[in-house]
């Protein structure tokens, strides 16, 4: 290996924040998580997707050392969770399921608890994270009086306190109302930018993951199903599915059938809609042909295959695992 | 060491910040004065001096056992509550070992027990000095300290027992229930040879002060060794389970 190759390999390794190596959890002979491997790179927002009972929470609990691995290992910034837990966990901030605090203490007292459990965190850092999640006003109120949204924010503050390289959020929008969900999403974006850290979000809310994640890791029955880049497929795939709304549907269908490289997927006579799949570069040609034939065009919409459809395809539809 | 100290501060604050924190202290102090007043009113000749009063009332047969009960109730939740509140998750994902986290909890429980013992002793002494005076009080401090020592040993064993049960059951209610049941049964002495190796007859070290023994063949050092063995067993069971358990 040349020196450049070595440097390259070294660089790639440094870029990996979390590495799962064939991690398994076996309880009473049943594999809850089965030889799961994937990685999270620096600055990435990754979604961990799977139907209920797929092993998402078990996976996250193994990452944070709450549950022991039966086999395999997890490395955080190169430190093994198994062999060097304290160094590994120091780079992780997490909220696992609901954020639970000591209800009879104030928000500040709760954060101080975690400050005393962490090296190199002072009161200035507490102010910093409190500001980031916008809880300044509530710091001296007892956590008992907090709404779920506020507790989520305090949970994020708690997770960010130790300046982690990886933030793990387990079902972060569970139980939040739409405004809360949106707020949460904004926070996650801000955090990824301001703090420059990687985020792992486990969820069964596909639209959530689709909106903010760069990559999705899909698991089912504890096994890896697929790892997919999100928001990239449009630029890559040449094939598009379009729905046209026209003023006269019959001539439109005739034109579509008559043009090469176009497949008619669906026709809707009531709404005067026509859905076709075609190569991206032929779209102007079809639009031109429709115009030339005097077919009035009200609307063209792209039918993107949503993550939901992919997800159902990967996980075998509505089969309850 | 610095880290462990900060963990103990955390645990102490978890007890201290509760609104009910002062209730057991208030109860014990109140009882110290009521007992003093009642005895003074109805059996004034019972104690010769404040030292006499403090020594006798600090014993397990006096307020010593009430102190133990308060210590059990107060420290029963120190592990169990973390599980029932769900705060165990945030607690264990820090760069601190489970061993040191649990050790800080045990130390805090011992400090809590000691603070109850001392608060009661001070209250008893004040109460006693009001109603029984200082006459003939030379050199009795040793007796007071001895009496406190015996009842604190008793409290420590029960705190350790409650601590272990709290870890095993992860339920504060079950911990109080089981420990209290044992506390009620521990005065029963079965007159059999094997029984001297059980925990109960060894709990009260004060029985040896006037040369007696709960069962033939038992001595102060025998009981101290037995108690040490039991305490270590309880701690071993607690730490092993706590370190290995999956938090699901």
**Is any Cβ of chain B less than 8 angstroms from the Cβ of A298?**
no
Q: Mean pLDDT for chain A?
A: 86
C-alpha to C-alpha distances, B7 to A109, A115, A224, B102, B164, nearest whole angstrom: 14, 10, 39, 9, 19
What burial letters (b/e) apply to B105-117, b meaning 16+ CB within 10 Å?
bbbbbbebbbbbb
Answer yes or no: is pLDDT of A234 > 60: no
Q: How many residues does chain B have?
A: 248
What integer pLDDT is reported at residue A179 of this predicted model?
81
- Report d(CA A20, CA A40) in Å as an integer: 9
Q: What is the DSSP letter of A305?
A: P
pLDDT digit string, tens, across residues B143-172: 889 999 999 999 999 999 999 999 999 999
Mean pLDDT across A280-284? 84
Q: Hey, what's the torsion of the CAs at B139, B141, B145, B151, to 10 degrees?
A: 100
Query: Which of A183, A207, A204, A80 has the alpha carbon at shortest distance from A132?
Result: A183
Interacting residues of B223 by C-beta distance below 8 A, sequence separation 6+: B201, B202, B205, B208
> How does DSSP assign B96-107, residue by residue?
S-HHHHHHHHHH
Instruction: Spell out which residues of chain B touch residue A101, defining contact as CB-CB under 8 Å.
Output: 87, 90
CATH code for residues A3-233: 3.40.50.300
B97: nearest CB among A86, A99, A109: A86
CA distance A317 to chain B (A): 28
What integer pLDDT is reported at residue A261 of this predicted model?
82
What integer pLDDT is reported at residue B84 of this predicted model?
92
pLDDT digit string, tens, across residues B10-61: 999 999 999 999 999 999 999 999 999 999 898 877 888 888 889 889 998 8
Answer yes or no: is pLDDT of A100 > 60: yes
Widest CA span of chain A, in angstroms?
76
Mean pLDDT across B196-221? 88
Answer yes or no: is pLDDT of B241 > 70: yes
Instruction: Spell out which residues of chain A touch residue B13, defining contact as CB-CB under 8 Å.
Output: 105, 109, 113
- Report d(CA A184, CA A174) in Å as an integer: 11
Answer yes or no: is pLDDT of A9 > 70: no
Mean pLDDT across A106-129? 93
Q: Are B78 and B176 in contact (CB under 8 A)?
A: no
Specify which residues B81 forms β-bridges with. Answer: none
What integer pLDDT is reported at residue B164 of this predicted model?
96
B93: nearest CB among A94, A98, A102: A94
What integer pLDDT is reported at residue A142 of this predicted model?
96
Using 50, 70 and 90 to split pLDDT, how confident is the model at A314? Answer: confident
Distance of CA B129 to the CA centre of its chain: 25
Backbone φ, ψ for residue B87 (5° rounding)? -75, -10
- Report d(CA B62, CA B44) in Å as an integer: 17
Instruction: Spell out which residues of chain A touch residue B92, defining contact as CB-CB under 8 Å.
Output: 64-66
Q: Is the dihedral of CA A207, A213, A215, A217 positive or negative?
A: negative
Using 50, 70 and 90 to split pLDDT, how confident is the model at A118? Answer: very high
pLDDT digit string, tens, across residues A69-88: 999 999 999 999 999 999 99
Least confident of A60-64, A157-161, A293-297, B162-166: A293-297
What integer pLDDT is reported at residue A4 of this predicted model?
65
Using 50, 70 and 90 to split pLDDT, how confident is the model at B136? Answer: low
Instruction: Spell out which residues of chain A touch residue B91, defining contact as CB-CB under 8 Å.
Output: 117
Answer yes or no: is pLDDT of A318 > 60: no
What integer pLDDT is reported at residue A320 of this predicted model?
43
Q: Do A118 and B97 touch (CB under 8 A)?
A: no
- Report d(CA A165, CA A123) in Å as an integer: 20
Query: Which of B158, B152, B186 has the alpha carbon at shortest distance from B76?
Result: B158
pLDDT digit string, tens, across residues A24-47: 999 999 999 999 999 999 888 999
**Spelled out in words, what is the top-level CATH class assigned to the domain A237-307?**
alpha beta
Q: Do B13 and A114 touch (CB under 8 A)?
A: no
3-state helix, strand, coil in chain A (%, to 5): 40, 30, 30
Mean pLDDT across B68-90? 94
Percent of chain B having pLDDT more than 90? Answer: 69
What integer pLDDT is reported at residue A11 of this predicted model?
63
Count of alpha carbons within 13 angstroms of residue A146, beta-carbon side: 28
Instruction: Spell out which residues of chain A touch residue B247, defining contact as CB-CB under 8 Å.
Output: 61, 66-67
B96: nearest CB among A104, A109, A117: A117
Using 50, 70 and 90 to split pLDDT, how confident is the model at A3? Answer: low
Query: Which of B108, B104, B112 has the alpha carbon at shortest distance from B24?
Result: B112
């Amino acid at each position: 290996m040349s020196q450049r190759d070595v440097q390259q390999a070294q660089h790639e390794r440094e870029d990996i924040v979390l590495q799962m190596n064939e991690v398994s959890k076996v309880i009473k002979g049943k594999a809850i998580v089965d030889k799961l491997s994937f990685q999270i790179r620096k600055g990435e927002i990754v979604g961990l997707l799977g139907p209920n009972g797929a092993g998402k929470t078990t996976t996250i609990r193994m990452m944070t050392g709450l549950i022991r691995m039966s086999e395999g290992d997890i490395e955080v910034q190169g430190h093994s969770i198994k062999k060097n837990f304290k160094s590994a966990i120091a780079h992780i901030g997490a909220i696992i399921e609901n954020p639970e605090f000591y209800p009879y203490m104030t928000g500040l007292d709760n954060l101080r608890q975690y400050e005393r459990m962490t090296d190199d965190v002072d009161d200035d850092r507490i102010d910093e994270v409190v500001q980031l999640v916008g809880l300044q006003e509530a710091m001296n109120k007892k956590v008992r009086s907090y709404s779920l949204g506020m507790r989520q924010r305090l949970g994020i503050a708690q997770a960010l306190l130790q300046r982690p390289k990886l933030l793990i959020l387990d079902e972060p929008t569970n139980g939040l109302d739409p405004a809360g969900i949106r707020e949460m999403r904004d926070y996650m974006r801000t955090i990824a930018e301001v703090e420059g850290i990687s985020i792992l979000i486990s969820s069964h809310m596909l639209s959530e993951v689709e909106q903010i994640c760069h990559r999705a890791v899909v698991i089912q029955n504890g096994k890896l199903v697929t790892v997919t880049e999100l928001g990239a497929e449009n630029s890559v795939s040449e094939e598009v599915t379009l729905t046209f709304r026209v003023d006269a549907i019959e001539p439109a269908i005739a034109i579509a059938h008559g043009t090469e490289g176009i497949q008619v997927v669906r026709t809707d006579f009531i709404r005067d809609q026509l859905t076709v799949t075609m190569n991206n570069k032929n779209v102007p040609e079809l639009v031109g042909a429709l115009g030339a034939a005097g077919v009035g065009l009200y609307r063209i919409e792209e039918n993107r295959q949503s993550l939901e459809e992919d997800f159902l395809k990967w996980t075998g539809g509505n089969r309850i695992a | 060491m610095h880290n462990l100290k900060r963990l103990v501060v955390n645990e102490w604050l978890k007890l201290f910040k509760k609104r009910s924190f002062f209730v057991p202290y208030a109860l014990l102090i109140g009882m110290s004065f009521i007992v003093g007043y009642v005895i003074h009113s109805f059996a004034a000749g019972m104690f010769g001096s404040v030292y006499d009063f403090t020594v006798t009332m600090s014993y397990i047969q006096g307020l010593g056992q009430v102190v133990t009960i308060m210590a059990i109730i107060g420290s029963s939740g120190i592990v169990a509550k973390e599980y029932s509140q769900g705060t165990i998750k945030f607690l264990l994902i820090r760069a601190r070992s489970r061993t040191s986290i649990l050790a800080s909890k045990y130390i805090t429980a011992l400090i809590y027990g000691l603070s109850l013992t001392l608060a009661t002793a001070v209250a008893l002494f004040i109460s006693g000095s009001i109603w029984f005076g200082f006459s003939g009080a030379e050199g009795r401090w040793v007796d007071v300290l001895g009496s406190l020592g015996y009842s604190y040993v008793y409290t420590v064993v029960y705190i350790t027992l409650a601590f272990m049960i709290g870890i095993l059951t992860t339920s504060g209610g079950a911990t109080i229930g089981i420990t209290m049941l044992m506390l009620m049964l521990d005065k029963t002495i079965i007159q059999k040879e094997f029984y001297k190796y059980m925990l109960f007859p060894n709990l009260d070290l004060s029985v040896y002060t006037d040369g007696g023994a709960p069962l033939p063949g038992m001595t102060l050092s025998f009981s101290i060794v037995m108690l040490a063995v039991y305490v270590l067993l309880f701690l071993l069971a607690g730490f092993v389970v706590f370190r290995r358990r999956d938090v699901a």
